[in-house]
Amino acid sequence: MIEKVLVPDVGEAEDVEVVEILVTVGDMVAADDSLVVLESDKASMEIPSPYAGKITGIETKEGDQVGEGSLLLEIETESKTEATVEPEPEPGSRSEPEPTPEPETEADTAETTTRIETSKVITVPDVGDAQEIVVAEVLTPQGTQVDEGESVVVLESDKASMEIPSDLAGVVQEVFVGEGDEVKEGDPLVTVVGRVAPDQVNEPVVEKTPVPEDPEYNHEERPADVSRLAPLPQQQDPAITPGGKVHAGPAVRKQAREYGVDLGDVKGSGRRGRVLKEDIQEYVKSRLSRSSDSGGLGIPEVPEVDFTKWGEVEEKPLSRIRKASARNLHRSWLNVPHVTQFDEADITDLELFRKSRNEQLQKEGVKLTPLAFLIKAVVDALIRFPQFNASITKDYDHLILKKYYHIGIAVETEDGLVVPVLKDADSKGVVQLANESAELAAQARDKKLPMDAMQGATFTISSLGGIGGTAFTPIVNTPEVAILGVSRSKVSPVWNGSEFTPRTMLPLSLSYDHRAIDGAEAARFTTYLASVLTDMRKVLM
């Protein structure tokens, strides 16, 4: 029996990249053997084989961008019966195999000769519970030739981007919307004129182009992005198509809009000139360096230096995780006005308690480090100071206060920094927090973190306490608004009003987004957090 292996639920990630294919056609695999490595900008995950058997087909290749439901490969399992019901890949998934064309019959030929011209209005489909849908991009201006299934418009809601395909091959006769327009289910987007078999004319096809009822609507004013209709000037680089049709996925289009980049100006390095996220980053970088060269306020580029002038060097490639976290850290550093608040918590009693409990718990295979108590105390402080468990809206108009407490834990791995998320930390006890954080750290180091274990954090803790140091300034893990850095505790002389006493002091470094949090609030947060760590009974109050 031939079984298909599809991309599983990849959580919030819209697209993931196939970074490695671990098998070849003809390989025998056992159930759970890793087949393919997928990577988003947040995580990498190995896709295990759901079956034991022989690899009969590989339907993807390294570098492909795939989404949930995309076909990865096929496995022949023990039973030789052909599969009758196979899971359908998601419509639109890029790895969907081409259907094998049926041999043309006489009837088919007759049908094509009697095809009639018709026009069809492509409308906004059912978009679930999305409140606001905006036209993100019109992909096919008036006059464009489109294939059946080819995307004509990109819509975007607060939850997702979606490309709307034409279900008729033909020419775009009219475009009813412009970029930035708000639309709702049923609104017309474009009209396509094409030829169909007579029996298909019963579908909701209209001969006459409807005009939307909105009296203010005037399609004369926006003839489908006129600039795109103008004949293209001679291109120096064929991969750059200003004003022309651009191949790019929704996530890339969204990123382009965020950076204010016209996709037509970007050279696509993907297959058939498809624009990738990296292309936009490169484009922005080059624009910024150009503006600084010309005396603007862009970020001045660090000049490239030939280090071999001074001695021997070795060039070591950066891992994908390191490159992805470099991008995220850079973005946060550039966008977030960071301030770091330092404090110290007296954890003398907590340490005595932790060590005494550890003796007993270690027999049960549990290891309590200060981290589990930190998570517990942080959640208590977040409940008291909700603006730290929040995100700021893009227009800087609102804080989104989250009523759940998912704590990101920065974990050092040999490939770089990974931040798995300990979900619903408010409902868990210290022992469970210790077990789960240790498990997440182990999965991160073994590259076995499921994609959804990397998402949804509301606040992050970065503990360097096991290594050393007295303080540091962690970078906010955007879109969160604060991160707690923890350094190594040490016994210090503390004045108690009459004498110096030896106390175990834990250094805390809270970096926060100054747009969302004031300095006074940050000082109150760390003071409260330190007081909880000094007397954990406070979490009971």
Site for ligand CAO in 121-180 (CB under 6 A): none
Pair 18, 63: CB distance under 8 Å: yes
Residue 370 as a binder of ligand CAO (CB under 6 A): the answer is yes
Q: What whole-number distance in Å separates Cα of residue 394 and Cα of residue 186?
A: 28
Query: What would the 3-class secondary structure string for 5-33 be?
Result: EECCCCCCCCCEEEEEECCCCCCEECCCC
Residue 36 near ligand CAO by CB under 6 A? no
Which residues have C-beta within 8 Å of that of residue 473, sequence separation ≥ 6? 338, 340, 485, 509, 511
Q: How far is the CB of 309 from ligand CAO (least distance, A)?
A: 32
Q: Which two tokens stand for residue 185?
A: 């289910």
For ligand CAO, which residue of 410, 430, 453, 532 counts as binding (CB under 6 A)? 410
Closest contact distance (angstroms) between CB of 411 and ligand CAO is 4
Contact 443, 449 (CB under 8 A): yes
Dist CA 165 CA 185 (whole Å): 15
Query: Which residue is catalytic, options 219, 247, 338, 514?
Result: 514
- Say if residues 127 and 162 touch (Cβ distance below 8 Å): yes
514 flagged as catalytic: yes
Q: Which is nearer to ligand CAO, 279 or 344 (CB)?
A: 344
- Cβ 454 to ligand CAO shortest distance, Å: 14
Q: Does 466 bind ligand CAO (CB under 6 A)?
A: yes
Closer residue to ligand CAO (CB): 1 or 438: 438
Pairwise CA distance, residues 89 & 69, whole Å: 5
**Cβ of residue 250: shortest distance to ligand CAO, in angstroms?**
31
Which residues in 481-520 contact ligand CAO (CB under 6 A)?
486, 488-489, 506
Least distance from C-beta 484 to ligand CAO, angstroms?
A: 10
Residues forming a β-bridge with 45: 38
- Cβ closer to ligand CAO: 70 or 463? 463
Measured distance CA(258)–CA(274) in Å, rounded: 19
- Cβ–Cβ under 8 Å, residues 247 and 275: yes
- Written as one letter, the residue type at 144 is T
Task: Using the rule CB under 6 A, give the single segment among 80-88, 267-275, 395-403, 407-415 that binds ligand CAO.
Answer: 407-415
Q: In whole angstroms, how close is the CB of 284 to ligand CAO at the nearest point?
A: 25
Q: Does 417 bind ligand CAO (CB under 6 A)?
A: yes
Which of 73, 87, 92, 71 lies closest to 14 in space, CA to CA?
92
Element (H, E) at 500: strand 500-513
By beta-carbon proximity to ligand CAO, the closer residue of 332 and 455 is: 332
Q: Whose Cβ is closer to ligand CAO: residue 249's or residue 420's? A: 420
Nearer to ligand CAO, 133 or 453 (CB): 453
Among 66, 246, 411, 454, binds ligand CAO (CB under 6 A): 411
Residue (of 180, 328, 331) closest to 257 by Cα position: 180
Task: Please pick, from the candidates 409, 451, 484, 522, the single residue that binds ligand CAO as defined by CB under 6 A.
Answer: 409
Looking at residues 325 to 354 of the shown chain, list those that interact with ligand CAO (rule: CB under 6 A).
none
Tell me how far, at minimum, the Cβ of 285 lies from ligand CAO, in Å.
23
Between the alpha carbon of residue 465 and those of residues 183, 484, 488, the distances in Å are 52, 12, 4
Nearer to ligand CAO, 250 or 474 (CB): 474
Tell me whether residue 144 or residue 462 sits nearer to ligand CAO (CB atom): 462
Minimum distance, C-beta of residue 460 to ligand CAO, in the bound complex (Å) = 8
Residue of minimal Cβ distance to ligand CAO: 465
In the numeric block, the tokens 């058939």 are attached to 272
Q: Draw the binding track, 422-451, toward ligand CAO (x: CB under 6 A; -: no contact).
A: -------------------x----------
Residues 446-465, mask of contacts with ligand CAO (x by CB under 6 A): ----------------xxxx
Q: Which residues pair with 116 in a beta bridge?
A: 196
- Smallest gap from Cβ 371 to ligand CAO, in A, equals 4
Task: Determine the interface stretch with ligand CAO among 7-15, 207-215, 257-265, 411-419 (rule: CB under 6 A).
Answer: 411-419
What SS3 class is residue 153? strand
Nearer to ligand CAO, 67 or 474 (CB): 474
Retrieve residue 192's tokens.
């396509």
C-beta separation of 498 from 472 below 8 A: no
CA dist 402 and 409 (Å) reads: 18
Report residue 238 as tokens: 């064929």
Identify the CA nearest to 486 among candidates 522, 523, 526. Answer: 526
Q: Is 412 in the site for ligand CAO (CB under 6 A)?
A: yes
State the DSSP string of 156-218. E-SS-EEEEEPSS-EEEEEE---TT-EE-TT-EEEEEEEEE-GGGTTSS--SS----S-TT--
Q: Are 512 and 339 in contact (CB under 8 A)?
A: yes
Q: Least CB distance from residue 427 to ligand CAO, whole Å?
A: 20
Q: Which span sits near ligand CAO by CB under 6 A: 113-121, 174-182, 363-371, 425-433? A: 363-371
**336/506 with CB nearer ligand CAO:** 506
Size of the site for ligand CAO (CB under 6 A): 19
Residues that bind ligand CAO (CB under 6 A): 369-371, 409-412, 417, 441, 462-466, 474, 486, 488-489, 506
> Mind telling me the catalytic residues?
514
